[in-house]
């Protein structure tokens, strides 16, 4: 059997890296341009059928809490009322949260936070962030271990009040 001498005809075969590097860089540029840094977002879920807009809660077993937010003409918060009582501290939302916690705790198992509904009445010009602050105060808290403890989950809105405080 004849064995060819391969050593004499062997040539170095160098792979052409250039096309692959070109494509790889194009992919890199594409992903870099498409990349967006976004902050994490979450939702407050609210179920509000049309029939309940003006009629209020149908379920009589629910303990209804009225939260009223008033605003200056500029849209800044002028007052927070909880069951027609004005919360007078420097941070009314902390006070609102304390009131809700007190109610949820004092009612025991018979009227837990699940049996409560918070109805918000807000001035028309009020900045939306204050509404989110109020919803945050009544819907839950962050426990020491970083978990969310839910309070009132049923939330509804009354029709907005056109009147605002002139101060």
Question: Which run of H or E residues covers position 96?
Answer: helix 92-106
CA angle 46, 47, 48 (to 5 degrees): 110
Task: Please state, in angstroms and rounded to a whole number, the distance separating the CA atoms of residues 161 and 167.
Answer: 16
Closest CB to other proteins among residues 9, 144:
144
Closest CB to other proteins among residues 22, 89:
22
Closest CB to other proteins among residues 8, 162:
162
Q: Mask of contacts with other proteins, 45-84, x by CB under 8 A?
A: xxxxxx--x---------------x-x---x---------
Contacts of 133 (CB under 8 A, 6+ apart): 93
Task: Please state, in angstroms and rounded to a whole number, the distance separating the CA atoms of residues 81 and 66.
Answer: 8
Residues that bind other proteins (CB under 8 A): 17, 20-21, 24-25, 27-28, 31-32, 34-35, 38-50, 53, 69, 71, 75, 122-133, 135-136, 139-142, 148, 157, 159-160, 162
């Amino acid at each position: 059997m004849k064995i060819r001498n391969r050593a004499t005809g062997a040539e170095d075969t160098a792979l052409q890296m250039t096309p692959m590097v070109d494509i790889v860089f194009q992919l890199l540029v594409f992903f870099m341009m498409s990349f967006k840094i976004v902050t994490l977002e979450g939702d407050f879920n609210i179920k509000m059928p049309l029939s309940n807009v003006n009629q209020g809660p149908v379920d009589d077993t629910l303990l209804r809490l009225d939260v009223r937010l008033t605003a200056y003409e500029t849209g800044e918060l002028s007052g927070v009322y909880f069951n027609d009582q004005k919360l007078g501290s420097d941070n009314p939302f902390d006070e609102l949260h304390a009131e809700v916690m007190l109610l949820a705790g004092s009612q025991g198992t018979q009227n837990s936070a699940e049996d409560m509904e918070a109805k918000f009445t807000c001035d028309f010009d009020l900045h939306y962030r204050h509404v989110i602050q109020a919803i945050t105060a009544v819907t839950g808290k962050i426990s020491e271990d970083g978990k969310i403890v839910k309070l009132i989950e049923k939330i509804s809105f009354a029709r907005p009040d056109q009147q605002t405080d002139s101060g």
